[in-house]
Amino acid sequence: MREIRSMLNAVGQSVPRKDGIGKATGQARYADDLRFPGMLHGRTIRSTIPCGRLAAVRLGFDPAGFTVVDHRDIPGRNVVTLIADDQPCLVEREIRHVAEPVLLLAHENREALLGASVALEEEPAEPVFDPERSPTAFKTILIEKGDLAAGFAEADHVVEGTYCTGHQEHVYIEPQAVIAVPEDGGMTVYGSIQCPFYAHRALAVILGDAVARVRVIQTETGGGFGGKEEYPSGIAAHAALLALKSDRPVKLIYDRVEDMLATTKRHPAIVRHRTGLTRDGRLVAMDIEVILDGGAYQTLSAVVLSRGSIHAAGPYRCDNIRIAARAMFTNTPPNGAFRGFGAPQTQFGVEVHMERIAEALGLDPVRLRERNLLRPGDTTATGQRVGQDCAALEVLRTAVRRSGFRRKRKAYAGTGRGIGLAMYWHGSGFTGSGELKLASRATIELTATGVRVLTSSTELGQGTRTMHAQIVADALGVPYEQVEVAMPDTGLVPDSGPTVASRTCMVVGRILQRAAEEIRAKLGDATPAEYFRRHGPLAVTGQYEQPEWIRWDEIDYRGDAYAAYAWGCDVVEVELDRDTWEVRPVRVTVVNEIGKAIHPALARGQVEGGTVQGLGYALLERVVMRNGAMANAQLTNYIIPTTLDTPKLDVVLLEHPYDGGPFGAKGLGELPIDGPAPAVVNAIRQLGIDVRGIPAVPEAIREAACASP
């Protein structure tokens, strides 16, 4: 007999991670740890010019023992399919960026492989690097609310400003890695892959009829942050083409330099604000322009732009808003998904701008924000009415109190220390009706010892397996230990949608909660194991049901952009070294409202990790582009935060349950990266230095200090 559990036994507890032991003992298997009999190593030969034509390819080695693949070896279509089918799997003629894949080699001996020389004859053409001069827009978006001209007519003050953000490299510590294995008349790809079904779809198009069955299996993944969202589809295809031609397993692992040079990065952005305010600091008109540098192919730029523009006005209420956004083509490696997905760029703009407004109007920066923050019932730029869970004011007040902001602001004035804050919000799940279109599914099946969860949601370190098991355990009323979670394998699991957009807990977790409730009703008094013994297998597959109140107009960008928003406020204290112009963060207070922390320690880990990535984005991480290529594509001179660069972190999690999420949970993964950069720059502003761009590396700070009055 099953004991009836009405309490939450797993949810809200920091239960042991499902993958904890494997990771602590070195037993967890990442792609590079796998070996297959007869396996070859693969290598990618890449373009060296940013724009032009490929005239000829000359092999400078004896081809015996090598497998060589070019575009003519593609049995299906030569395209890495995603939103727009514009990116070839291998260059045929046209070259659009440096490090574009041209030719693939495989050999069983790595030294022989690396020693093989290939000469490319390339005919350069004039590249475009400046997104503002680019003639080609991948996507434009216009969001309009109220009457902008009337808003400006009402304004006592108008404040303008331009804010710039640079590229950011993901630096997952495990570089890109896949292995393609020809087996059972099909092709199985194992890899460090964030979205196995994206890779699956891309492989099907590229391999066409040549391969009867494609299967993609995620291996343990050493970090992703968006960098393994769409990009591995192309690598999977490369490995599969080599495997198809050689009929041997092929391992394709990027080294760090190749990974940094060739793979996607966060989109650089230019954000312009023109804002009308009343004398007492009420926002009456916000005119915002957003320009993203998309790079040479579309990848996910259209959706990054979408999320960026929807968040561009910040968590503020204003009746008259125009947001005009565009993602532009340039001859640089394509930019793609990165934690935050356009929102960190636009929220950097609006929050640094708010600080400048406070300064221009002589208002207290906290008051200015308090006056304008969204409250329950207010409408966003797209006209969405925010719910009772809107916690903008509460996160601000908690952060201000907890950090001693007002006292320190006075105390630091005129010293080498500064303190600044930033408000932010982040919509959970796909935009608008995106979740409806995805129609994600997730399965729970009974086993001899409990239940198994089957989803395509990947564990990237964020805790997917653990958190899903907790939700299922409590919804089903079984101990957490009796819930197993299957590795995502497209041959085994349903498509639960991609592991992106802070949707894995709120959306996929919700489907699992419902499916578990359905199973619970069927079990009656039996435990899953008892039921399995008596009646045999039972599986329930649930599908996402979008809350029925959601209305979204994709053409006019009006309506309910996200089912829920999580809210945040960061307070950052910095110290300036006037000799080196180095700014060091010394203390950061983060207050995040996330609905419900399913696993408090994991949630805290997301906040701490995201915050430190955000501090790196703000102060250290500079991608130097020279002639369309990253000139510092090594960890020696692309610097991410180390233990010596990170400040004291104080994290507070608040919970205002959202009733459409499992046990009240909203999305969390991306939220914490939105705040640190503007908060850092606002703290630098207190030092009297007018910085409006990131990364605020010492050279940039010195330059701004010399220019500031």
Partner 1 sequence: MRFTLNAREVELNVAPLARLLDVLREDCGLTGTKEGCGEGECGACTVLVDGEAVCACLVPVAQVEGAEVVTIEGLGDDHPLQRAFMDEVGAQCGICTPGMILTAITLGPRPSLAKIRRGLAGNLCRCTGYEAIYRAIHRAS
The footprint of ligand FES (CB under 6 A) covers 173, 223, 461
- 108 part of the interface to partner 1, by CB under 8 A: no
Binding at 221: pick from ligand FES, partner 1, none (beta carbon under 5-8 Å per type): partner 1
By beta-carbon distance, which residue lies closest to ligand FES? 173
- 3-class secondary-structure state, position 643: coil
- Using alpha carbons only, how large is the chain's radius of gyration in Å? 26
Tell me how crowded residue 347 is: count the other CB atoms within 10 A of its CB: 29
CA dist., res. 330 & res. 338, Å (int) = 18
Determine the interface stretch with partner 1 among 28-36, 242-250, 575-583, 687-695 (rule: CB under 8 A). 28-36
* Least CB distance to partner 1 at residue 70 (A): 28
> Residue 108: what residue type?
E
C-alpha angle with apex 404: 401 to 409, nearest 5 degrees? 125
> Of 63, 624, 602, 568, which Cα lies nearest the Cα of 351?
568
- 14 part of the interface to partner 1, by CB under 8 A: yes
* Least CB distance to partner 1 at residue 24 (A): 4
In the complex with ligand FES, the residue whose CB is nearer, 142 or 173, is 173
> Residue 118: what residue type?
V
> Of 441, 512, 488, 500, which Cα lies nearest the Cα of 669?
500
Tell me how crowded residue 26 is: count the other CB atoms within 10 A of its CB: 7
- 472 part of the interface to partner 1, by CB under 8 A: no
- 117 part of the interface to partner 1, by CB under 8 A: no
Binding at 460: pick from partner 1, ligand FES, none (beta carbon under 5-8 Å per type): partner 1
Paired tokens of 325: 């956004």
Paired tokens of 18: 């499902």
* Least CB distance to ligand FES at residue 172 (A): 7
> Of 196, 322, 346, 207, which Cα lies nearest the Cα of 267?
346
- 16 part of the interface to partner 1, by CB under 8 A: yes
Q: Label residue 32 exposed, middle or buried (CB < 10 Å: 0-12, 13-18, 19+).
A: middle
Chain centroid to Cα 554, Å, comes to 22
Determine the interface stretch with partner 1 among 64-72, 169-177, 371-379, 415-423 (rule: CB under 8 A). 169-177
Looking up tokens 């990771």, which residue turns up? 23
Q: Where in 198-227 is the site for partner 1 (CB under 8 A)?
A: 220-225
- 191 part of the interface to partner 1, by CB under 8 A: no
Check: CB of residue 544 under 8 Å from CB of residue 509.
no
- 3-class secondary-structure state, position 18: coil
- 669 part of the interface to partner 1, by CB under 8 A: no
From first CA to last CA, the distance across the chain in angstroms is 77
* Least CB distance to ligand FES at residue 174 (A): 8
CA dist., res. 314 & res. 146, Å (int) = 17
Paired tokens of 190: 């194992």
Binding at 20: pick from ligand FES, partner 1, none (beta carbon under 5-8 Å per type): partner 1
Binding at 10: pick from ligand FES, partner 1, none (beta carbon under 5-8 Å per type): none
CA dist., res. 369 & res. 358, Å (int) = 9
> Of 251, 248, 235, 246, which Cα lies nearest the Cα of 202?
235
- 635 part of the interface to partner 1, by CB under 8 A: yes
- 624 part of the interface to partner 1, by CB under 8 A: no
- 601 part of the interface to partner 1, by CB under 8 A: yes
Q: Where in 55-74 is the site for partner 1 (CB under 8 A)?
A: none
- 32 part of the interface to partner 1, by CB under 8 A: yes
Tell me how crowded residue 582 is: count the other CB atoms within 10 A of its CB: 16
Binding at 526: pick from ligand FES, partner 1, none (beta carbon under 5-8 Å per type): none
- 611 part of the interface to partner 1, by CB under 8 A: yes
In the complex with partner 1, the residue whose CB is nearer, 144 or 484, is 484
Chain centroid to Cα 100, Å, comes to 23
* Least CB distance to ligand FES at residue 594 (A): 21
Q: What is the largest CA-CA distance in the chain?
A: 81
Looking up tokens 């659009």, which residue turns up? 96
CA dist., res. 96 & res. 79, Å (int) = 14
In the complex with partner 1, the residue whose CB is nearer, 17 or 514, is 17
Binding at 6: pick from partner 1, ligand FES, none (beta carbon under 5-8 Å per type): none
* Least CB distance to ligand FES at residue 458 (A): 14
Q: Which of 40, 89, 102, 171 is in the footprint of partner 1 by CB under 8 A?
A: 171
* Least CB distance to partner 1 at residue 29 (A): 7
In the complex with partner 1, the residue whose CB is nearer, 169 or 230, is 169
* Least CB distance to ligand FES at residue 393 (A): 34
Residues forming the site for partner 1 (CB under 8 A): 14, 16-17, 19-30, 32-33, 170-175, 220-225, 255-256, 460-463, 601-602, 604-605, 608-613, 634-636, 640-644, 646, 649
